[in-house]
A and B are shown apart, each in its own frame.
Chain A
Amino acid sequence: MAIGVKKVARPRKMSGGETLYLLEILRGLGVTMGHLVRNIFRQENIATIEYPEVRREMPPRFRGLHRLMKRPDGTPRCVACYCCATACPAVCITIVAGESPDPAVEKYPVRFDIDMLRCVFCGHCVEACPCDAIRMDTGWFTPPEHTREKLIYTIDMLMEK
């Protein structure tokens, strides 16, 4: 065979019964009726997930919506070190730091906004965080909203997840 010539396999010749079509169509009808009957009587075998009522079970390492962790006394664990904002490739985290009233803690985030419209769910913020204050283990993705403003998640929203 010459270089660059590729021989494509042709479909095999149909047998006499197959060229009649009708017998094969009858067999096909049998296949589809089998599916129909099976799915009517064993509905639990249908793979469809009825979305708003039933949520898909996400795998444990799925990177979903962020949440901010709390200390035992309910204050954010975040120390406003800006590591996550620096690591973020999408520049979607906005932090405004303030002086913490707790003498054991130096700073706390006055504002901690994540712009969900910009976030690419890469998980770099979680990896960058030195005190495990941000996690992406909620197992859920961003729900739809009607306005852009509602998709900028504030510290309160992130802490209650």
Chain B
Amino acid sequence: MSGLFDLVVSVVRVAVMLAFTLSLVPILVWAERKGAAYIQDRRGPNRAKILGLTLGGLFHPLADALKLLFKEDFIPDGAHRLFYQMAPMFALAPALMTFAVIPVGPPVVIAGREVALQVADLNVGILYIFAISGLAVYGVILAGWASNSKYPLLGGLRSSAQMISYEVSLGLSIIGLVMVFRSVRLSEIVASQGTLLWGIVPKWGVFVQPLGFLLFLVAVYAEANRTPFDLPEGESEIVAGFHTEYGSFKFSIFFMAEYIHMVVGSALIATLFFGGWQFPYLADSGFVLPGGAALGLPGPLVLLLRIGAFLGKLLFFAWLFIWVRWTIPRFRYDQVMRLGWKVLLPLSLANIFVTGLVLLLIGGGA
């Protein structure tokens, strides 16, 4: 029985997480298009109708997906056939895989057994994330090279250079956090963010590692190839960058990969720096405010509040990706390189040094 139970739990968890990430994509596409329109004083998509309902253009992403699905699936002359077809998969798979280690809620007890609300509670959580998300750039580079066309190649080269510059800062910006929480297991990092700092503020990563948070935020934007670091695409300079030669469903997979990267990036920021599923001042029994006031809540409600808190944080940071995209212009290539190597890298090293010094002075931090 126990083997069957584990199997069912695993399958259900994978199915729910996959459905969750994939269903966020059309919502984000819609938010991006509609938000961009309103930011630019336009109306945005409002034409696609089902039974006379437009729902503010919510059906446009579905219509786009259907359209792309039914388009001719071509491979350009001179393209490397195998790599050309592999590239979209390489772009999408790592993005989906990274979400596996993100805890969306506290462990729940089902039929007398504890079930973690994450697909895999790996003891190397953060290392796994960096290992897998580092693979995502292969999709871009392969697409750029296999297309046998100059603009995709330029996009791929830019992507690899950007990757090398920002992967370092991304990894180093986390070290300080790992030093404070003394674990690379994501469920433990989230759990230890539930306590209070000086008895007032939640001990979230952003409060103990403000500089680390800023560095991580910038590096995640660069990793997800989003504005202001969307040089691999760079529409105004290199057509559409690495996916210039892609059409039909292969293009839509690149498109999905970009949005899933946003989801995963937002989930990571929420998990590492904003307490993941921790709701401020919410303990297992209910709200406990610093002054001593308490409000008891039933267990299921606490669980729902916590999952809701995670979802809210995720959606906020996903919206921040979109919001930033329609606010600031793209960096020039040399500016990106300068920012990566001459600003972010020294700052992240300094952050580690200062964190270590402080932990040493206050005796281990814990």
- A12 on interface, CB distance cutoff 8 Å: no
- A22 on interface, CB distance cutoff 8 Å: yes
Contact with A along B195-223 (1 / 0, CB 8 A): 00000000000000000001000000000
Q: Which of B316-366 contact A (CB under 8 A)?
A: 323-324, 326-328
Q: Which of A21-43 contact B (CB under 8 A)?
A: 22, 25, 28-29, 31-33, 35-36, 39-40, 43
- Residues on A with beta carbons closer than 8 Å to the beta carbon of B40: 35
Select one of B38, B41, B42, B327 contacting A28, CB under 8 A. Answer: B327
Select one of A22, A31, A48 contacting B327, CB under 8 A. Answer: A31
Select one of B41, B323, B324, B327 contacting A39, CB under 8 A. Answer: B41
Select one of A35, A48, A50 contacting B39, CB under 8 A. Answer: A35
Contact with A along B38-54 (1 / 0, CB 8 A): 11111100000000000
Cβ contact within 8 Å between B328 and A33 = no
With A35-B41, A36-B35 in contact, is A22–B323 under 8 Å at CB? no
- A2 on interface, CB distance cutoff 8 Å: no
B97 to chain A, nearest CB (A): 31
- Residues on B with beta carbons closer than 8 Å to the beta carbon of A47: 41
- A46 on interface, CB distance cutoff 8 Å: yes
Cβ contact within 8 Å between A50 and B323 = no
A25 and B227 alpha carbons, distance in the complex (Å): 12
Query: Count of A residues near B, CB < 8 Å?
Result: 17
Q: Which of B21-46 contact A (CB under 8 A)?
A: 35, 38-43
- Residues on A with beta carbons closer than 8 Å to the beta carbon of B39: 32, 35-36, 39
Cβ contact within 8 Å between A25 and B327 = yes
Cβ contact within 8 Å between A33 and B323 = yes
A16 to chain B, nearest CB (A): 14
B266 to chain A, nearest CB (A): 16
Cβ contact within 8 Å between A48 and B42 = yes
Select one of A29, A46, A50 contacting B41, CB under 8 A. Answer: A46
- Residues on B with beta carbons closer than 8 Å to the beta carbon of A39: 38-39, 41
A47's nearest neighbour on chain B, judged by CB, is B41
Cβ contact within 8 Å between B324 and A48 = no
A40 and B42 alpha carbons, distance in the complex (Å): 10
Cβ contact within 8 Å between B214 and A22 = yes
Cβ contact within 8 Å between A32 and B323 = yes
Cβ contact within 8 Å between B327 and A46 = no
A37's nearest neighbour on chain B, judged by CB, is B38
- Residues on A with beta carbons closer than 8 Å to the beta carbon of B327: 25, 28-29, 31-32
- Residues on A with beta carbons closer than 8 Å to the beta carbon of B42: 46, 48
* Interchain residue pairs A-B with the least CB separation, the first 8: A39-B38, A28-B327, A32-B327, A48-B43, A36-B38, A32-B39, A36-B39, A35-B39
Residues of A within 8 A of B (CB): 22, 25, 28-29, 31-33, 35-36, 39-40, 43, 45-48, 50
Q: A36-B39, A50-B43 are in contact. List 8 more A-B contacts (CB 8 A).
A: A25-B327, A31-B327, A32-B323, A33-B323, A35-B38, A39-B39, A46-B42, A48-B43
Q: Can you name 25 A-B residue pairings with CB atoms under 8 Å? A: A25-B324, A25-B327, A25-B328, A28-B327, A28-B328, A29-B324, A31-B327, A32-B39, A32-B323, A32-B326, A32-B327, A33-B323, A35-B39, A35-B40, A35-B41, A36-B35, A39-B39, A39-B41, A40-B38, A43-B43, A45-B41, A46-B41, A46-B42, A47-B41, A50-B43
